[in-house]
Structure formats: C-alpha cells, structure tokens
C-alpha cells in the first residue's frame, strides 16, 4: 500500500536519510525504530511531503506521490499524529473533532464523531474544553481522534505515548491495537521498542538514516543482541 524506495533527504548539507526503503501492506502494523536522531521523524516528514526528498520514490496505493504536499497526502488517506500532537489549542474538543470529519478516500466513514467519543470517553466528558485546557494524555487522545475522523487507510503515530503517565500510556496502546483491528494500517514510532514490537507485524530499525535491521516483529523480539546493538542505551 505504501512503498518507499531509496529515499534520500538532506537538511542543508546534512545527509539525513540515506537510501531508505520501507513497505507497508494493507491492514498491517509496522514499527519504525531507532535511537534519538536516527531519522525516524525525518522519514515520516519526507513521506508526508513536509520535507522534500532529494531523490527516491514514495508510492501510495500504486501511484507515485513523491513530493506531494501534506494536504494531498492527507486527502489520499494518510492520517498523521505528529510528535507534539498538533491540535488546535484555541478550539474546543468538539470543534477539533468536527472540523476534521470527512469520508475516507474510498468513501469510508467508519470513524464517526460518536465512535471516536466512544473510543475516548475522556474526550466525551470534555467536549467544551479548549485544546489548551486538556492534560497531555487528553491532548494525545484528541490528536488521535482527529486523525481517525478523517477515516484514513494508514495512521502514522510519532511518539504517541511520549511524556505520559503509565496508565494513559496503556490506554493509548489499547487504542492503537483497536485501530489495527478495524483494517487501518499503522506506522508506529515509539521509544518503547518492546511495546512497538508487541503491537506490530513487522518493523525496521534506522541507524544514521539507514535501515540496519528489519523483518517480522516477533523475529526481532527474539533477537536481543540486535535490539541491544541498535536500540539499547
């Protein structure tokens, strides 16, 4: 469904992504792992069109979308929950959700306002609160809820559990697992590689902008020396 081939991205003279390949099949969950600064967010920003790639290709559902702007990628069915959340702080929870509502690219409307509130009962209790009045965990839920309201085929979650209390983290992982069961593919970045590997079908590991390991998540979980080498502190 998503196929990234030989992607190279620079920030100025710094060659950040160095020939990255990544594929996501329909309905699967893929983990994107790597220590801080290895290029995970840059890969997401490149595929979404926020950062231009110098070379390489991004194909989405069979068509070449390399260099398409983020709004177009979103219209084509990619929901993006960025690191740092990206909600509208001055709008209420209700407004944040309602303004994101639309059918998916194939007309799908599985994720309605009611279903999102059912998934996140905490948001249902805070509909009239401004985005800036929410706790960190609630903001994260709102960010995920907004992406779901666009009825995407793929959800990209970048550090969705960062800085949250353990109970909220567990709640977010539960929701991520539930999203996966509704046929939406996911691309997940999270510091807790054990949790990522437990919630995905496959994963790739980035080191200095290159894919250095990858395969089925279950296989990777069974390779502690690989995990320690590329992800250990």
Binding site for ligand ATP (CB under 6 A): 11, 14, 16, 34, 36-42
> Among 54, 27, 55, 21, which Cα is nearest to 205's?
21
Nearer to ligand ATP, 41 or 185 (CB): 41
Nearer to ligand ATP, 11 or 109 (CB): 11
- Nearest distance, CB of residue 201 and ligand ATP, angstroms: 21
Q: Would you call 163 exposed, middle or buried from its count of C-beta atoms within 10 A (0-12, 13-18, 19+)? A: exposed
Secondary-structure breakdown of the chain: helix, strand, coil percentages, each rounded to the nearest 5: 35, 25, 35
Nearer to ligand ATP, 11 or 52 (CB): 11
**Which residue's entry shows tokens 């996140």?**
120
**Whether 119 contacts 178, CB under 8 Å:** yes
Nearer to ligand ATP, 14 or 181 (CB): 14
The residues pairing with 79 across neighbouring beta strands, listed in sequence order, are 155
- Nearest distance, CB of residue 15 and ligand ATP, angstroms: 10
- Nearest distance, CB of residue 218 and ligand ATP, angstroms: 23
Q: Tell me the C-alpha distance between 149 and 179, whole Å.
A: 12
- Nearest distance, CB of residue 164 and ligand ATP, angstroms: 16
């Amino acid at each position: 469904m998503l196929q990234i081939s030989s992607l190279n991205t620079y920030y100025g003279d710094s060659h950040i992504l160095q020939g990255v390949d990544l594929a996501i099949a329909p309905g699967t969950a893929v983990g994107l792992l790597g220590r801080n600064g290895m290029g995970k967010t840059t890969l997401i920003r490149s595929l979404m069109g926020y950062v231009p790639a110098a070379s390489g290709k991004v194909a989405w559902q069979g068509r070449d979308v390399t260099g398409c702007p983020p709004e177009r990628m979103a219209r084509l069915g990619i929901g993006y929950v960025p690191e740092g959340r990206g909600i509208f702080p001055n709008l209420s929870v209700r407004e944040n959700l309602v303004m994101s509502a639309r059918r998916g690219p194939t007309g799908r409307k599985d994720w309605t306002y009611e279903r999102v509130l059912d998934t996140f009962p905490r948001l249902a209790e805070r509909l009239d609160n401004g985005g800036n009045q929410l706790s960190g965990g609630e903001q994260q839920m709102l960010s995920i809820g907004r992406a779901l309201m666009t009825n995407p085929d793929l959800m990209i979650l970048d550090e969705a559990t960062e800085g949250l209390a353990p109970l909220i983290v567990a709640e977010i992982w539960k929701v991520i697992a539930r999203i996966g069961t509704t046929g939406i593919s996911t691309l997940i970045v999270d510091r807790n590689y054990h949790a990522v590997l437990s919630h995905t079908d496959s994963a790739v590991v980035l080191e200095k902008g290159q894919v250095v390991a990858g395969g089925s998540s279950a296989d990777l979980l069974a390779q502690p020396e690989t995990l320690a080498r590329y992800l250990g502190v």
